[in-house]
Amino acid sequence: MPELPEVETISRELNQVMSGTRLLQPEVKLPKIVKVPICSFQRAVTGGVIKKVQRRAKLVLLELSNGWTIVIHLKMSGQLIWRPNHGRLTVGGHPIPGGLSHLPNKYSHVIFPTNRGTLFFNDQRQFGYVKLQPTKTLGKWLEEQGYGPEPLTDDFTPAVWKSILRQHRVKRVKPTMMDQTVIAGVGNIYADEACFFAKIKPARRIKTLSLEERHNLYLGLRHVMNLSIKHRGTTADAYRTATGQPGKMQQYLRVYGRVNQSCLRRDGGIIKKIVLAGRGTHYCPRCQR
């Protein structure tokens, strides 16, 4: 469900509240979620202390002091909830029917008890997963997964972006941005928003983009995702940040979810919705060319 800004938000906040926590034996209620033999998973995790929580692409990485890193993908409807023994609930993910009062619930597929509280991995649609990688080879493993560069780091320069675009000349703009092997972390919402920012139709062929348009797309991508992180993510379908407050990015979305509404550039355009690469795609036919 979450894209880069939402995963970044959860990861940062879990890092704050869970670092130094010692894990007890995890409980796996839905075995298919854990992509490792359950016994070895429990053996590796139990007793480990969380050193830090990080993000790469849309993955949450919990690095343990014992050499293992827990790798979590939330996919469409995954959710991470930290319930400390004392203090506030920490939530990141999709809403729980009936609220947060009953934990675990029917969507709690993996439960991580610790010395300071419990971490719940919930997932309504069961697309998400939990994996395990040796921290030592995590970098190599991530490379093997083929993820493209992180769009918000300093080394992701306009020149890098333009060089990437030259490798995908005949493809369409939006599906290429969402290709995790091209850039990591861009999903459906922010691809639409970046195209709006750059005034480019999502279905344009990359080879038709001027240099200026390529640069605007670069600026748009960085802008919408940085803005979202600043506001702790988008709360569509009631996505929640790690402190349980809804993200505030929703109110800054300019095309996503605004089908048939007026373009916020006040140019008289009406936001149109099409299907592109199997995903709902929103744009203004007036200002996006």
Partner DNA sequence: TTCAATGTTTAGAC
Partner DNA sequence: GGTCTAAACATTGA
Residue type at 177 in one-letter notation: M
Q: Does 33 bind DNA (CB under 7 A)?
A: no
58 a catalytic residue:
yes
Q: Does 236 bind DNA (CB under 7 A)?
A: yes
CB of 199 to DNA, least distance (A): 20
Q: Which is closer to DNA, CB of 83 or CB of 279? A: 279
Interacting residue with DNA among 142, 149, 280, 286 (CB under 7 A): 280
279 a catalytic residue:
yes
Residue type at 284 in one-letter notation: C
Interacting residue with DNA among 18, 45, 271, 276 (CB under 7 A): 276
Distance CA 159, CA 149 (A): 13
Residue 182: what are its φ and ψ, rounded to 5°? -90, -55
Sign of the alpha-carbon torsion through 161, 136, 17, 28:
positive
Q: Does 97 bind DNA (CB under 7 A)?
A: yes
Q: Does 49 bind DNA (CB under 7 A)?
A: no
Q: Which is closer to DNA, CB of 47 or CB of 270? A: 270
Which residue out of 55, 58, 116, 214 is catalytically annotated? 58
Task: Compute CA distances 125 → 78, 136, 185, 268, whole Å.
Answer: 8, 32, 20, 39
CB of 36 to DNA, least distance (A): 16
Residues 6+ apart with CB under 8 A from 207: 169, 170
Q: Does 142 bind DNA (CB under 7 A)?
A: no
Closest CA to 78 of 146, 124, 39: 124
Name the one range near DNA by CB under 7 A: 131-139, 149-157, 211-219, 228-236: 228-236
Closest CA to 40 of 58, 26, 55, 54: 26
Task: Compute CA distances 57 → 3, 7, 69, 186, 204, whole Å.
Answer: 8, 8, 15, 8, 25
Q: Which is closer to DNA, CB of 23 or CB of 217? A: 217
Name the one range near DNA by CB under 7 A: 47-55, 62-70, 109-117, 229-237: 229-237
Alpha-carbon Rg for the chain in angstroms: 20
Interface residue list for DNA (CB under 7 A): 1-3, 6, 57-58, 73, 75-76, 97, 106, 124-127, 168-172, 175, 178, 180, 187-189, 205, 234-239, 275-280
**What residues are annotated to the active site?**
2-3, 58, 279
